[in-house]
Amino acid sequence: MTHLEVADIVRDRGDAFARTRRLSLGQLKALSAIERCRSAELGGHVLACQSCGETHIAYNSCRNRHCPKCQGSAAKRWLADRQAELLPVEYYHIVFTLPALVADVAFQNPASVYNLLFKVTAQTLRTIAADPKHLGVDIGVTAVLHTWGSAMTHHPHLHCVVPGGGLTPQGQWLPCKRGYLLPVPVLSRLFRRLFLEQLIALHPKLKFYGALAPLVQRMAFKDYLKPVRQVEWVVYAKRPFAGPEAVFSYLALYTHRIAISNQRLIAYDHGVVTFKYKDYRRKGRERYRSMQLHVDEFLRRFLIHVLPLGFHRIRYFGLFANHQRRRRLQQVRETLNVPPPEVDNASEDTERTKPPVFVCRTCGVGMIILQVLDRSRYARAPP
């Protein structure tokens, strides 16, 4: 029995849904890619097993970052790139969440507010870490944006992984106290103050529609934000990871996760989609529940988490910033007396021992390509 996929729902209802909604170019591209992923329209390969002789057709993936079927290989590639950057120190997982009123503004201005979320989160972590009262060091931050809750509702938050320590102004590694990185209440209050200050400064560039239309007036916008000044913003620090090796294996689950995976789908009957979700207000086994949504509402919730074209949902700050990562990591390794990672030279022996790309489902032996199947449909070139 073939398991239900998001692609099945998109093929059945996607075109009709798109005709009745105003969708962004990114959302239209995501629907088109998911519909055609691993189908004859994208081409593929005719494969033959070198052992049992079984033949098989493997169709190409769409590689769209919102496609449920294309995230496993992308996560593996990202994980392989990050493994060489691991340090023999504790790592901490900290989550920064936007309150509901601010999330509503982000819903109508995703690129602007999500960019601000990245900027302010990194600024908060680095400011508190650099304070001599706490650590007095420059830290590294890997941040991953999620915009959904388990029921695919709009819930923007940032997952951050931070090593337990940093470089002092003198260039020496200073570790944090074991099991404790930075004070969460201090992080929460600075995060709230910096975000609101910069969000108000961003007001002239924001757009407001529907119920939020009156916020186009600056004073109305300030009044709208008054309630969130009086509440604690959710900053959640999890326990440190069991070891450096577990860090990015765990984070890879977050970096390439999408709003819903195919494994969570239960049924699609008579225009109703049933799927599993996690109710965080409950405990134990009662936390895992099922939900039914009309197919149009299901697609609407799925598409609100399609990020703007060109938007980077994984970003690096401090010691891990792209422009200085190699130099700063080398400096950290020297202070920790850690040897540099081995360089993998692409020799003939390496190529010979590489695992096969295609593996036979019957006997597990590598398969060879007999024929390349061309795409039956090509994307239209831009005007």
Length of the chain: 383
- For residues 47 and 109, membership in a common domain is answered with no
**Long-range contacts from 304-307, C-beta under 8 angstroms, 24+ separation:** 304/107, 304/147, 304/154, 305/66, 305/147, 305/148, 305/152, 305/154, 305/258, 305/259, 306/24, 306/26, 306/27, 306/30, 306/66, 307/26, 307/65, 307/66, 307/110, 307/114, 307/145, 307/147
- For residues 10 and 99, membership in a common domain is answered with no
For residue 154, give its domain range.
71-259+305-336
- For residues 10 and 96, membership in a common domain is answered with no
- For residues 311 and 367, membership in a common domain is answered with no
User: Is 18 domain-assigned?
Assistant: yes
Total number of domains in the chain: 2
Per-residue confidence (pLDDT) for residue 343, from 0 to 100: 57
User: Is 1 domain-assigned?
Assistant: no
- For residues 363 and 239, membership in a common domain is answered with no
**pLDDT tens column, 113-133:** 999 999 999 999 999 999 999
- For residues 92 and 111, membership in a common domain is answered with yes
pTM for this prediction: 0.88
**pLDDT tens column, 13-72:** 999 999 999 999 999 999 999 999 988 888 888 888 877 878 888 888 888 999 988 887
User: Is 199 domain-assigned?
Assistant: yes
- For residues 162 and 175, membership in a common domain is answered with yes
- For residues 178 and 130, membership in a common domain is answered with yes
User: Is residue 86's pLDDT more than 70?
Assistant: yes
- For residues 362 and 242, membership in a common domain is answered with no
- For residues 177 and 89, membership in a common domain is answered with yes
Per-residue confidence (pLDDT) for residue 369, from 0 to 100: 85
Of residues 354 and 194, more confidence is placed in 194
- For residues 135 and 224, membership in a common domain is answered with yes
3-state secondary structure of 135: coil
- Closest to 305 in 3D by CA, of 146, 167, 174: 146
For the chain, the first-to-last Cα distance in angstroms comes to 43
